[in-house]
């Protein structure tokens, strides 16, 4: 693999400009061996199941992104504060730092990451470090380093130390030749973004490590995730978060996708609960390593109409970003998640009306909402 030049400067600029919580520190990328380090070719691994241990010891990489902090809060409530370690390369805000264990972890530094796993007796690893779709297209070498080389490090460490490994995938793992309405778990996947390509790579590598080395790899394909406690981080579905902030602050929202662009979406509480549920599911219940999960599917126009029930004077305009629109047009319109619902009992709680009401409740009241109610 060629050395990625000036990557430290690039990631610093990206973190400052996009708010991306990719959770990595970039160093010149060395060639990484294709087989797990210190793993015999005939080795077989079996993770300790949840029932066989008091509590898992958890590490979350890329923990300061959209999902990491919320996941840590959920897992600490479930397993105890000191059993869940949040990690990133950025300095956390005070409330995150004091809410539980936090450490610096660079996913491209194999030795350091391995030491963290060993010294903290980690048994579960949630790997959230990644550059998202739009940010990745702006810097492909950086996305390739973070999303692929970093994944290889995590896979090797997880295999070597018998970890239960969760790596999220995405609607971006599909492409324009995939069936879009609905999109099944198994179908043609030919994404046209480096983000999507890296996620297909992660799905296949995780499945390979499972069958080749016995790695307990688990993966969910997330739809667009909507949350009130984080800023957009460079994703194509970020309009569905931005509209709430703009409605509260200015009463004006400019959408960068066409009004009829339908995409699958999910409220963050459903997403985090699904992640915990699939990790706790008995291994024998899983018929596959990667599952679609879904909750709702809507267009920018449908979301705006629901938001306007709370903020009637919200003025919505459309200025289409050609890059993001092309990405969205290649993604699923609806997810078929029947296998997740059958195998481990997945069931969402939030539809569009509940989502919008919850977002405004979280963000707080202002005069426009009070008048509308």
Residues 117/161, Cβ–Cβ less than 8 Å: yes
- Cα–Cα distance, 274 to 203 (Å, whole number): 17
Three-class SS state of 209: helix
222 is catalytic: no
Answer whether 372's CB lies under 8 Å from 221's CB: no
| Cα distance between residue 32 and residue 131, in whole Å | 20
Minimal CA–CA distance to 165: which of 355, 36, 33? 36
d(CA 255, CA 304): 10
Tell me, letter by letter, the H, E, C secondary structure of 327-362.
HHHCCCCCECCHHHHHHCCCCCCCCHHHHHHHHHHH
The enclosing H or E element of 135 equals helix 133-138
The CA distance from 373 to 369, in Å, is: 6
Complete DSSP assignment for 58-126: EEEETTTSTTHHHHHHHHHHHH-GGGEEEEESSPPPHHHHTTS-EEE--TT-HHHHHHHHHHTT--EEE
d(C-alpha 346, C-alpha 209), whole Å? 25
Token pair in block for residue 70: 């919320």
Tokens of 289: 């390593």
d(C-alpha 368, C-alpha 373), whole Å: 9
Give the active site residue among 110, 128, 195, 267. Answer: 195
Three-class secondary structure assignment of 358-370: HHHHHHCCCHHHH
Q: Which residues are catalytic?
A: 195
């Amino acid at each position: 693999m060629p050395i990625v030049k000036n990557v430290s400067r690039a990631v610093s600029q990206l973190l400052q400009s996009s708010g991306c919580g990719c959770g990595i520190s970039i160093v010149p990328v060395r060639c990484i061996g294709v087989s797990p380090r210190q793993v015999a070719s005939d080795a077989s691994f079996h993770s300790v199941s949840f029932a066989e241990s008091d509590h898992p010891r958890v590490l979350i990489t890329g923990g300061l992104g959209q999902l990491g902090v919320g996941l840590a809060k959920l897992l600490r409530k479930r397993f105890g504060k000191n059993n869940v370690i949040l990690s990133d390369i950025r300095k956390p805000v005070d409330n995150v730092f004091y809410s539980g264990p936090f450490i610096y972890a660079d996913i491209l530094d194999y030795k350091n990451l391995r030491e963290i796993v060993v010294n903290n007796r980690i048994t579960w690893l949630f790997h959230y470090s990644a550059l998202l779709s739009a940010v990745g297209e702006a810097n492909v070498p950086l996305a390739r380093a973070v999303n692929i080389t970093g994944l290889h490090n995590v896979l090797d460490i997880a295999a070597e130390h018998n970890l239960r490994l969760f790596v999220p995938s995405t609607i971006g793992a599909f492409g324009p030749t995939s069936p879009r309405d609905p999109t099944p778990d198994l179908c043609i996947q030919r994404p046209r973004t480096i983000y999507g390509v890296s996620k297909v790579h992660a799905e296949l590598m995780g499945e390979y490590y499972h069958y080749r080395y016995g790695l307990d790899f688990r993966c969910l394909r997330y739809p667009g995730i909507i949350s009130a406690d984080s800023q957009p981080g460079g994703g194509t579905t970020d309009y569905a978060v931005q509209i709430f902030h703009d409605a509260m602050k200015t009463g004006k929202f400019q959408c960068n996708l066409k009004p009829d662009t339908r995409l699958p979406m999910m409220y963050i509480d459903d997403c985090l609960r699904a992640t915990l549920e699939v990790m706790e599911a008995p291994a024998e219940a899983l018929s596959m390593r990667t599952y679609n999960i879904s909750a709702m599917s809507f267009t920018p126009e449908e979301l705006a109409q629901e938001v306007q029930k709370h903020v009637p004077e919200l003025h919505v305009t459309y200025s289409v970003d050609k890059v993001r629109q092309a990405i969205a047009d290649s993604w699923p319109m609806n997810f078929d998640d029947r296998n997740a619902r059958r195998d481990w009992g997945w069931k969402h709680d939030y539809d569009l009306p509940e989502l919008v009401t919850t977002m405004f409740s979280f963000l707080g009241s202002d005069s426009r909402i009070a008048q509308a109610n």
